[in-house]
Amino acid sequence: MESLLPIVIVLALASAYGLWHKRTRGKIVVKSDKGLITAGMIGSELGSRATLLQFSSAFCGPCRSTRLLIEDVTADMVDVAHVEVDAEANLELVRTLDIRSTPTTLFLDSAGHEVGRAVGAPKRDQVVKAIAAIA
Amino acid sequence: MTQVSNSVKVSTLIDARGPRFGAAITTVVLAAALATNNVWFIVAQAIVFAVGAFKGPQFTPYAFIYKTLVKPRLKNEFEKEDVRPPQFAQSVGLLFALVAIAGATSGLNLLFSIAVAGALGAAFLNAAFKFCLGCEIYLLLLRARSK
Protein backbone atom coordinates (compact mmCIF):
# COMPACT_ATOMS: atom_id res chain seq x y z
CA MET A 1 0.00 0.00 0.00
CA GLU A 2 1.84 3.11 -1.14
CA SER A 3 -0.55 5.93 -0.30
CA LEU A 4 -4.24 6.48 0.17
CA LEU A 5 -3.97 10.20 -0.54
CA PRO A 6 -4.74 9.97 -4.30
CA ILE A 7 -7.91 7.98 -3.53
CA VAL A 8 -9.03 10.54 -0.97
CA ILE A 9 -8.43 13.40 -3.42
CA VAL A 10 -10.30 11.70 -6.29
CA LEU A 11 -13.27 10.71 -4.12
CA ALA A 12 -13.49 14.20 -2.57
CA LEU A 13 -13.44 15.92 -5.97
CA ALA A 14 -15.95 13.45 -7.42
CA SER A 15 -18.26 13.90 -4.42
CA ALA A 16 -18.18 17.68 -4.74
CA TYR A 17 -18.96 17.44 -8.45
CA GLY A 18 -21.65 14.82 -7.83
CA LEU A 19 -23.43 16.96 -5.25
CA TRP A 20 -23.32 20.03 -7.48
CA HIS A 21 -24.53 17.93 -10.41
CA LYS A 22 -27.41 16.48 -8.41
CA ARG A 23 -28.49 19.94 -7.28
CA THR A 24 -28.46 21.59 -10.70
CA ARG A 25 -29.65 18.78 -13.01
CA GLY A 26 -33.35 18.60 -13.71
CA LYS A 27 -34.03 22.11 -12.47
CA ILE A 28 -36.22 24.09 -14.85
CA VAL A 29 -34.51 27.39 -15.53
CA VAL A 30 -36.71 30.23 -16.73
CA LYS A 31 -35.38 31.78 -19.90
CA SER A 32 -35.72 35.46 -20.60
CA ASP A 33 -34.16 35.80 -24.05
CA LYS A 34 -37.01 33.76 -25.58
CA GLY A 35 -35.47 32.21 -28.70
CA LEU A 36 -38.04 31.25 -31.34
CA ILE A 37 -38.49 27.63 -32.40
CA THR A 38 -40.71 26.81 -35.36
CA ALA A 39 -42.51 23.60 -36.34
CA GLY A 40 -40.15 23.37 -39.32
CA MET A 41 -37.08 23.34 -37.11
CA ILE A 42 -38.26 20.35 -35.09
CA GLY A 43 -40.22 18.58 -37.85
CA SER A 44 -43.37 18.43 -35.80
CA GLU A 45 -46.38 20.62 -35.06
CA LEU A 46 -46.28 22.74 -31.91
CA GLY A 47 -48.94 22.33 -29.24
CA SER A 48 -51.67 24.97 -29.33
CA ARG A 49 -50.75 26.11 -25.80
CA ALA A 50 -47.34 24.65 -25.07
CA THR A 51 -44.70 22.24 -26.41
CA LEU A 52 -42.18 20.20 -24.46
CA LEU A 53 -39.20 19.65 -26.73
CA GLN A 54 -37.01 16.85 -25.39
CA PHE A 55 -33.51 16.15 -26.73
CA SER A 56 -32.41 12.55 -26.21
CA SER A 57 -29.53 10.33 -27.23
CA ALA A 58 -28.75 6.63 -27.39
CA PHE A 59 -26.29 6.60 -24.47
CA CYS A 60 -28.59 8.40 -22.07
CA GLY A 61 -30.23 6.53 -19.19
CA PRO A 62 -32.57 9.22 -17.79
CA CYS A 63 -33.86 10.07 -21.30
CA ARG A 64 -36.21 7.13 -21.07
CA SER A 65 -37.58 8.04 -17.64
CA THR A 66 -37.94 11.67 -18.76
CA ARG A 67 -39.95 10.56 -21.80
CA LEU A 68 -42.23 8.38 -19.67
CA LEU A 69 -42.71 11.20 -17.14
CA ILE A 70 -43.60 13.83 -19.76
CA GLU A 71 -45.88 11.43 -21.65
CA ASP A 72 -47.66 10.68 -18.40
CA VAL A 73 -48.01 14.32 -17.33
CA THR A 74 -49.22 15.51 -20.75
CA ALA A 75 -51.42 12.49 -21.54
CA ASP A 76 -54.68 14.35 -20.89
CA MET A 77 -53.55 17.73 -22.21
CA VAL A 78 -54.70 18.09 -25.80
CA ASP A 79 -53.15 21.56 -26.09
CA VAL A 80 -49.66 20.45 -25.00
CA ALA A 81 -47.34 18.61 -27.40
CA HIS A 82 -44.39 16.41 -26.44
CA VAL A 83 -41.75 16.23 -29.14
CA GLU A 84 -38.69 14.03 -28.64
CA VAL A 85 -35.72 14.69 -30.88
CA ASP A 86 -32.67 12.46 -31.37
CA ALA A 87 -29.83 14.90 -30.66
CA GLU A 88 -27.30 12.86 -32.61
CA ALA A 89 -29.32 13.04 -35.83
CA ASN A 90 -29.94 16.78 -35.45
CA LEU A 91 -26.58 18.27 -34.57
CA GLU A 92 -27.33 21.51 -36.40
CA LEU A 93 -30.40 22.12 -34.25
CA VAL A 94 -28.42 21.02 -31.18
CA ARG A 95 -25.83 23.72 -31.94
CA THR A 96 -28.40 26.40 -32.70
CA LEU A 97 -30.15 25.80 -29.38
CA ASP A 98 -26.87 25.09 -27.52
CA ILE A 99 -27.86 21.68 -26.19
CA ARG A 100 -24.86 20.20 -24.34
CA SER A 101 -26.14 17.09 -22.63
CA THR A 102 -29.14 14.79 -22.68
CA PRO A 103 -31.86 14.80 -21.67
CA THR A 104 -32.45 18.52 -22.17
CA THR A 105 -36.08 19.61 -22.29
CA LEU A 106 -37.20 22.98 -23.62
CA PHE A 107 -40.56 24.44 -22.60
CA LEU A 108 -42.11 26.40 -25.47
CA ASP A 109 -45.15 28.64 -25.46
CA SER A 110 -47.79 28.58 -28.20
CA ALA A 111 -45.69 30.77 -30.50
CA GLY A 112 -42.58 28.63 -30.07
CA HIS A 113 -40.70 30.94 -27.71
CA GLU A 114 -38.45 29.07 -25.30
CA VAL A 115 -39.66 30.03 -21.83
CA GLY A 116 -37.88 27.39 -19.78
CA ARG A 117 -35.21 24.72 -19.99
CA ALA A 118 -34.43 21.65 -17.89
CA VAL A 119 -30.99 20.08 -18.26
CA GLY A 120 -31.21 16.53 -16.91
CA ALA A 121 -34.30 14.62 -15.81
CA PRO A 122 -36.88 17.07 -14.40
CA LYS A 123 -39.13 16.34 -11.41
CA ARG A 124 -42.83 15.69 -11.93
CA ASP A 125 -44.14 18.61 -9.85
CA GLN A 126 -41.78 21.01 -11.60
CA VAL A 127 -42.96 19.87 -15.02
CA VAL A 128 -46.60 20.28 -13.96
CA LYS A 129 -45.86 23.75 -12.57
CA ALA A 130 -43.90 24.85 -15.65
CA ILE A 131 -46.69 23.75 -18.01
CA ALA A 132 -49.29 25.52 -15.85
CA ALA A 133 -47.20 28.70 -15.99
CA ILE A 134 -47.46 28.82 -19.78
CA ALA A 135 -50.68 30.68 -20.42
CA MET B 1 -36.21 22.74 -43.11
CA THR B 2 -34.21 20.62 -40.76
CA GLN B 3 -34.59 16.89 -41.06
CA VAL B 4 -35.68 15.65 -37.71
CA SER B 5 -36.00 12.09 -36.56
CA ASN B 6 -38.35 12.16 -33.66
CA SER B 7 -37.84 8.86 -31.99
CA VAL B 8 -34.83 7.52 -30.20
CA LYS B 9 -34.97 3.77 -30.65
CA VAL B 10 -35.04 1.74 -27.49
CA SER B 11 -32.92 -1.40 -27.46
CA THR B 12 -32.65 -4.09 -24.80
CA LEU B 13 -33.82 -3.13 -21.32
CA ILE B 14 -31.97 -4.43 -18.28
CA ASP B 15 -32.25 -4.08 -14.49
CA ALA B 16 -30.73 -0.62 -13.86
CA ARG B 17 -29.34 -1.70 -10.48
CA GLY B 18 -26.98 -4.24 -12.10
CA PRO B 19 -24.58 -1.74 -13.74
CA ARG B 20 -24.68 0.40 -10.61
CA PHE B 21 -23.65 -2.55 -8.46
CA GLY B 22 -20.90 -3.22 -11.02
CA ALA B 23 -19.74 0.39 -10.72
CA ALA B 24 -19.40 -0.08 -6.94
CA ILE B 25 -17.10 -3.10 -7.38
CA THR B 26 -15.23 -1.24 -10.13
CA THR B 27 -14.69 1.65 -7.70
CA VAL B 28 -13.07 -0.70 -5.17
CA VAL B 29 -10.83 -2.36 -7.79
CA LEU B 30 -9.71 0.99 -9.24
CA ALA B 31 -9.07 2.41 -5.77
CA ALA B 32 -6.89 -0.63 -5.01
CA ALA B 33 -5.01 -0.05 -8.28
CA LEU B 34 -4.43 3.61 -7.48
CA ALA B 35 -3.24 2.89 -3.93
CA THR B 36 -0.89 0.04 -4.82
CA ASN B 37 0.27 1.15 -8.28
CA ASN B 38 -0.26 -2.47 -9.27
CA VAL B 39 -1.02 -2.77 -12.97
CA TRP B 40 -2.64 -6.22 -12.58
CA PHE B 41 -5.71 -4.68 -10.95
CA ILE B 42 -6.14 -2.63 -14.11
CA VAL B 43 -5.53 -5.58 -16.41
CA ALA B 44 -8.30 -7.50 -14.62
CA GLN B 45 -10.61 -4.48 -14.70
CA ALA B 46 -9.83 -3.90 -18.41
CA ILE B 47 -11.04 -7.44 -19.17
CA VAL B 48 -14.28 -6.72 -17.30
CA PHE B 49 -14.67 -3.40 -19.16
CA ALA B 50 -14.04 -5.17 -22.49
CA VAL B 51 -16.79 -7.72 -21.82
CA GLY B 52 -19.13 -4.88 -20.80
CA ALA B 53 -18.23 -2.79 -23.83
CA PHE B 54 -18.40 -5.47 -26.50
CA LYS B 55 -20.89 -7.98 -25.16
CA GLY B 56 -22.94 -5.85 -22.78
CA PRO B 57 -22.79 -4.80 -19.11
CA GLN B 58 -25.23 -7.58 -18.19
CA PHE B 59 -22.60 -10.22 -19.10
CA THR B 60 -19.67 -9.07 -16.94
CA PRO B 61 -18.46 -11.08 -13.91
CA TYR B 62 -19.80 -8.26 -11.72
CA ALA B 63 -23.24 -8.63 -13.29
CA PHE B 64 -23.02 -12.37 -12.56
CA ILE B 65 -22.33 -11.65 -8.89
CA TYR B 66 -25.26 -9.22 -8.88
CA LYS B 67 -27.62 -11.73 -10.46
CA THR B 68 -26.71 -14.67 -8.27
CA LEU B 69 -26.02 -13.05 -4.89
CA VAL B 70 -27.61 -9.60 -4.75
CA LYS B 71 -30.74 -9.58 -6.89
CA PRO B 72 -32.46 -12.55 -5.17
CA ARG B 73 -32.22 -10.60 -1.89
CA LEU B 74 -33.78 -7.41 -3.27
CA LYS B 75 -37.52 -7.09 -2.93
CA ASN B 76 -38.31 -3.77 -4.56
CA GLU B 77 -39.65 -3.55 -8.07
CA PHE B 78 -36.75 -2.90 -10.38
CA GLU B 79 -36.21 0.06 -12.62
CA LYS B 80 -35.53 -0.89 -16.22
CA GLU B 81 -32.80 0.81 -18.18
CA ASP B 82 -31.69 0.86 -21.80
CA VAL B 83 -28.54 -1.26 -22.08
CA ARG B 84 -26.70 1.27 -24.27
CA PRO B 85 -25.86 3.99 -21.68
CA PRO B 86 -23.98 1.61 -19.31
CA GLN B 87 -22.39 -0.07 -22.33
CA PHE B 88 -21.06 3.31 -23.47
CA ALA B 89 -19.68 3.92 -19.97
CA GLN B 90 -17.92 0.52 -20.08
CA SER B 91 -16.28 1.53 -23.39
CA VAL B 92 -14.99 4.77 -21.89
CA GLY B 93 -13.75 2.78 -18.89
CA LEU B 94 -11.92 0.39 -21.23
CA LEU B 95 -10.25 3.33 -22.95
CA PHE B 96 -9.01 4.72 -19.61
CA ALA B 97 -7.82 1.24 -18.54
CA LEU B 98 -5.86 0.78 -21.79
CA VAL B 99 -4.20 4.19 -21.35
CA ALA B 100 -3.30 3.21 -17.77
CA ILE B 101 -1.80 -0.10 -18.93
CA ALA B 102 0.16 1.72 -21.64
CA GLY B 103 1.44 4.13 -19.00
CA ALA B 104 2.51 1.36 -16.64
CA THR B 105 4.26 -0.73 -19.30
CA SER B 106 6.17 2.25 -20.70
CA GLY B 107 7.28 3.46 -17.27
CA LEU B 108 5.07 6.56 -17.31
CA ASN B 109 3.74 6.21 -13.78
CA LEU B 110 2.05 9.58 -13.80
CA LEU B 111 0.04 8.63 -16.91
CA PHE B 112 -1.00 5.42 -15.12
CA SER B 113 -2.14 7.33 -12.04
CA ILE B 114 -4.05 9.99 -14.01
CA ALA B 115 -5.89 7.42 -16.14
CA VAL B 116 -6.79 5.29 -13.11
CA ALA B 117 -7.88 8.39 -11.17
CA GLY B 118 -10.14 9.47 -14.06
CA ALA B 119 -11.77 6.05 -14.29
CA LEU B 120 -12.10 5.88 -10.49
CA GLY B 121 -13.86 9.26 -10.40
CA ALA B 122 -16.34 8.21 -13.10
CA ALA B 123 -17.04 4.79 -11.52
CA PHE B 124 -17.57 6.37 -8.10
CA LEU B 125 -19.93 9.02 -9.54
CA ASN B 126 -21.90 6.27 -11.24
CA ALA B 127 -22.14 4.14 -8.08
CA ALA B 128 -22.84 6.95 -5.61
CA PHE B 129 -24.79 9.49 -7.70
CA LYS B 130 -26.22 7.41 -10.57
CA PHE B 131 -24.07 9.58 -12.83
CA CYS B 132 -24.71 9.01 -16.55
CA LEU B 133 -21.43 9.47 -18.43
CA GLY B 134 -23.03 9.12 -21.87
CA CYS B 135 -25.52 11.92 -21.06
CA GLU B 136 -22.74 14.35 -20.26
CA ILE B 137 -19.99 13.63 -22.78
CA TYR B 138 -21.47 11.90 -25.84
CA LEU B 139 -23.12 14.99 -27.30
CA LEU B 140 -20.08 17.13 -26.56
CA LEU B 141 -17.88 14.58 -28.39
CA LEU B 142 -20.22 14.64 -31.40
CA ARG B 143 -20.32 18.43 -31.41
CA ALA B 144 -16.52 18.65 -31.18
CA ARG B 145 -15.97 16.07 -33.93
CA SER B 146 -18.27 17.59 -36.52
CA LYS B 147 -17.38 21.23 -36.04
CB contact under 8 A, A85 and B5: yes
B79: confidence class by pLDDT, cuts 50, 70, 90: confident
Distance from chain centroid for Cα A21: 14
- Report yes or no on A19 lying in a domain: no
Q: Does A44 fall in a domain?
A: yes
Judged against a pLDDT cut of 90, whether residue B5 lies above it is answered with: no
> What pLDDT shows up at residue A18?
96
Q: Which residues of B touch A103 (CB under 8 A)?
A: 135
Would residue A18 count as lying in a domain?
Answer: no
Residue B38 has pLDDT above 90, yes or no: yes
Closest residue in B to A9 (Cα) is: B117
Residue-wise pLDDT for B84-121, tens only, equals 999 999 999 999 999 999 999 999 999 999 999 999 99
In a domain, A65, yes or no: yes
Whether A10 maps to a domain, the answer reads: no
Of B8, B35, B125, the CB nearest to A14: B125
* pLDDT tens profile A91-114: 999 999 999 999 999 999 999 999
For A55-83, write each residue's pLDDT tens digit. Answer: 999 999 999 999 999 999 999 999 999 99
Are A53 and B12 contacting, i.e. CB atoms less than 8 angstroms apart?
Answer: no
What pLDDT was estimated at residue A34? 63
In angstroms, the CA A15 to CA A12 distance is 5
Best mutation site among B1, B3, B5, B6 for testing chain A: the one with the most A CBs within 10 Å? B6
A39 domain residue, yes or no: yes
Cβ-based neighbours of A119, under 8 Å, separated by 6 or more: A24, A25, A26, A27, A29, A100, A101, A104
Is residue A9 situated within a structural domain? no
Q: What is the CATH number of the domain that holds A126?
A: 3.40.30.10
Q: What is the pLDDT of residue A80?
A: 96
ipTM of the complex: 0.86
Is residue A38 domain-resident? yes
Residues of B in contact with A58 (CB under 8 A): 8-9, 82, 84-85, 88, 134, 138
- Domain extent at residue A85: 27-133
Domain count, chain A: 1
Q: Do A61 and B8 touch (CB under 8 A)?
A: no
